[in-house]
Amino acid sequence: MSDLKTALGEAVAAAFAAEGVPADLARVTPSDRPDLADFQSNGALAGAKRVGRNPREIAAAVAERLKGDPRLASVEIAGPGFINLKIADAALSDRANAVAADPRAGAETVVRPRRVIIDYGGPNVAKEMHVGHLRASIIGESLKRIYRFRGDEVIGDAHFGDWGFQMGLLIAAVCDTYPAIAELVEDLNAKGEVTEADRGRLAVLATLGLDDLGALYPPAAERAKSDVGFRNRARRLTAELQSKKAGYYALWERFRDVTREALIRDFHALGVDFDWWKGESDVEDLIGPMVAELDGKGLLVDDQGARIVRVDRDGETRPKKLADGTVIEAPWPDPLLVVSSEGSAMYGTTDLATILDRRQAFDFDLVIYCVDQRQADHFEIVFRAACLAGYAAEGQLIHVGFGTMNGTDGKPFKTRAGGVLKLNDLIEMTREKARERLREQSLGEDVPADEFEEIAGKVAVAALKFADLQNFRGTSYIFDLDRFSSFEGKTGPYLLYQAVRVKSLLRRAAAEAAEAGPVVVAEPAERDLVLALDAFDAALADAYDKKAPNILAEHTYRVAQAWSKVWAACPILQAADPATRASRLTLATATLRQLELALDLLGIATPDRM
């Protein structure tokens, strides 16, 4: 079921080809002047250069061929050769009825589905999630839903940071701070295993909470920067953990378990979920054989006691700024450090083993890493190593980076005291603002308290997610809670309000036994709404191809705006005649289905009422 733009594009391409002009120039786009036309094609200008004819002459010939198309109310030439196309009301009515009858609201699926893994979230074990995890969670969840809706087989993987150097730092800090835990750990290390008799003693580990771990890690990480002895000890502890030394492994299990509980809470509050809850530790058993395989392929190189994979290609360089401000051409990229001089696997090692694990478990066509843009260089190195090792082909591993969420001062969002804001605190802060906004608008006054809380939660998530997703992921943006929580303007709460408004209308229609019927487009506002609904598939395909949910977010807002204009200009239940009322009820139903679908693809749930 082609959308109008696609169908017109095919007709215009055929007309161009009939005039001897390459059909690939006949691109149809929404009009820059919607007051003059619905769509336009500027291909005659480029075609004129190709075939040596006057562009206006080409445009006139193409227009003449199109004038008999029943889908078009008019075809006009403007300027040096622009072709303006206005859709006939009957064609818009047909398209509206097709969208209304389609469970997918006019959206197509991909021709060739792929097996896709989306790596997002990326929280670290032993740390509560903070505001810096928000964008990965929101963007990754939306991409997962978009790819799945388009027909791909998709796996979402949280990919915990739970096995690297930070674990060694934390083990050292805990053992230095809690003598009873240190004694237990050393005893288990000496025994080499945890027996049934030890189970009762493990209760001392339960005294470690996530707040304790969160307080210990920052000073330990800071100390490691200047204290060489402490840093080397943490590296040794990391290696011993990775060899599953009994005491360290039991302590690590406590880190993992207490963190998982908080992660599930925060992800659930955001409407984010994963198919795989895997971490770096899940590939530990693959690392030894993988290192041997890399060595056997001649990819490993000894380097000052460490082992690396060189991934540069024949003298590659790029500009590098030195401390004194001088810019030089430096070798690029750095090698992948696979085994440290202390014998431990590194961050890049587990990332490479994870690619191997994903190849074996899912045989992917594509892996998308939704991770901070600042990690771009790291992923470039890991991806090159994976291709050299034969774990992936060129183009199968893609880093989808994003900018930062900043406060109104333009700096990364922090607490008033200047600290990093916990994600759970941000969620609760936004939920409280949602409650405030609902009360200001006198919304939710007639619902039970538990339902009001559910509505406030959905409004809060809509505010957070749409504030993020309306921006192209590669850019940073300023988070203004007052503005983004408003029920007016380009916000998530505004979109929810428009969807709930349709639901309320349809409930009243059902109570009055008003029936829906065929759509007959007549009013300008109805035309604009149908054109907006028609653009769903194109917006979805574009968001999919560019891995950019902001395109879908923009479409959703346009549909909501177009519906609001219909609401204001076109009486529905009070329509002049039953046929008009039936037509507009069908249009309302189609609008609601597409709004809810689009919002769900953005990870936003719609309440039934407010």
Give yes or no for a contact between 605 and 465, defined as CB atoms under 8 angstroms apart: no
Token output for 539:
């917006």
C-alpha–C-alpha distance, residues 376 and 420, integer Å: 23
Residues 453 and 592 in one domain: yes
Q: How many residues does the chain have?
A: 610
Token output for 2:
């082609």
Average pLDDT over residues 472-477: 93
Residues 62 and 187 in one domain: no
- Helix (H) / strand (E) element for 609: namely none
Q: In the predicted model, is pLDDT for residue 324 greater than 90?
A: no
Average pLDDT over residues 57-80: 94
Q: Is residue 16 part of a domain?
A: yes
Give the C-alpha distances (Å, rounded to integers) separating 123 from 133, 267, 441.
7, 10, 37
Residues 586 and 439 in one domain: yes
Lowest mean pLDDT among 10-24, 38-52, 233-247, 407-421: 407-421
Q: How much of the chain exceeds pLDDT 70, in percent?
A: 99
Q: Is residue 169 part of a domain?
A: yes
553-577: per-residue pLDDT in tens? Answer: 999 999 999 999 999 999 999 999 9
Letter for the amino acid at 382? V
- Widest Cα–Cα separation across the chain: 92
Give yes or no for a contact between 386 and 336, defined as CB atoms under 8 angstroms apart: no
CATH number at residue 541: 1.10.730.10
**DSSP string over 257-311:** HHHHHHHHHHHHHTT---SB--BGGGGHHHHHHHHHHHHHTT-EEEETTEEEE--
φ, ψ of residue 491 to 5 degrees: the values are -140, 160
Q: Check residues 341 and 595 and name the one with the higher pLDDT.
A: 595
CB proximity list for 499: less than 8 A, separation 6 or greater:
560, 592, 595, 596, 599, 606
Among 269, 290, 320, which residue terminates a domain? 269
Residues 595 and 449 in one domain: yes
Residues 483 and 597 in one domain: yes
Residues 553 and 428 in one domain: yes
C-alpha–C-alpha distance, residues 279 and 598, integer Å: 31
Token output for 43:
């291909």
Residues 83 and 169 in one domain: no
C-alpha–C-alpha distance, residues 561 and 495, integer Å: 9
Q: How far is CA 114 from the centre of its chain?
A: 18
C-alpha–C-alpha distance, residues 506 and 271, integer Å: 27
- The range of the structural domain enclosing residue 515 comes to 423-601
Which residues does residue 85 pair with via DSSP β-bridges, in sequence order?
A: 39, 75
Q: In the predicted model, is pLDDT for residue 55 greater than 90?
A: yes
SS3 per-residue string spanning 154-202:
EEEECCEECCCHHHHHHHHHHHHHCHHHHHHHHHHHHHCCCCHHHCCHH
CB proximity list for 536: less than 8 A, separation 6 or greater:
3, 99, 105, 106, 107, 555, 559, 594, 598
Q: Is residue 29 part of a domain?
A: yes
Nearest to 286 by CA among 137, 391, 421: 391
Q: In the predicted model, is pLDDT for residue 24 greater than 80?
A: yes
Q: Is residue 237 part of a domain?
A: yes
Average pLDDT over residues 531-536: 98
Looking from the CA of 365 toward its CB, the CA atoms found within 13 Å total: 9
Nearest to 208 by CA among 228, 184, 226, 236: 184
Give yes or no for a contact between 581 and 505, defined as CB atoms under 8 angstroms apart: no
Residues 82 and 170 in one domain: no
Q: Is residue 300 part of a domain?
A: no
Q: Is residue 609 part of a domain?
A: no
Q: Can you give the pLDDT at residue 415? A: 64
Give yes or no for a contact between 136 and 549, defined as CB atoms under 8 angstroms apart: no
Average pLDDT over residues 223-242: 94
Residues 597 and 455 in one domain: yes
Q: Can you give the pLDDT at residue 269? A: 87
Among 251, 269, 287, which residue terminates a domain? 269
CB proximity list for 440: less than 8 A, separation 6 or greater:
none
Peptide bond into 578 cis (omega under 30): no
Residues 179 and 36 in one domain: no
Average pLDDT over residues 398-423: 82
Residues 36 and 182 in one domain: no
Q: Can you give the pLDDT at residue 417? A: 62
Read off the pLDDT band of 413 (50, 70, 90). confident
C-alpha–C-alpha distance, residues 135 and 474, integer Å: 11
CATH number at residue 21: 3.30.1360.70
- Helix (H) / strand (E) element for 64: namely helix 55-66
Q: What is the per-residue burial (b if ≥16 Cβ within 10 Å, else e) of 537-574? A: bbbbbebbeebbbbbbbbbbbbbbbbbbbbbeebebee
> What average pLDDT does the chain have?
93
Task: Return the number of other C-beta atoms located less than 10 Å from residue 359's C-beta.
Answer: 17
Give the C-alpha distances (Å, rounded to integers) separating 370 from 25, 163, 359, 374, 474.
35, 20, 18, 12, 11
**What's the whole-model pTM score?**
0.92
Q: How much of the chain exceeds pLDDT 90, in percent?
A: 79
Among 38, 71, 87, which residue terminates a domain? 87
Tell me the Ramachandran region of residue 271: left when phi exceeds 0, alpha when psi lies from -120 to 50, beta otherwise: left
SS3 per-residue string spanning 418-436:
CCECEHHHHHHHHHHHHHH
Q: Can you give the pLDDT at residue 1? A: 60
Q: Is residue 122 part of a domain?
A: no
Number of domains in the chain: 3
Q: In the predicted model, is pLDDT for residue 442 greater than 80?
A: yes
Which residues does residue 477 pair with via DSSP β-bridges, in sequence order?
A: 405
Q: Is residue 362 part of a domain?
A: no
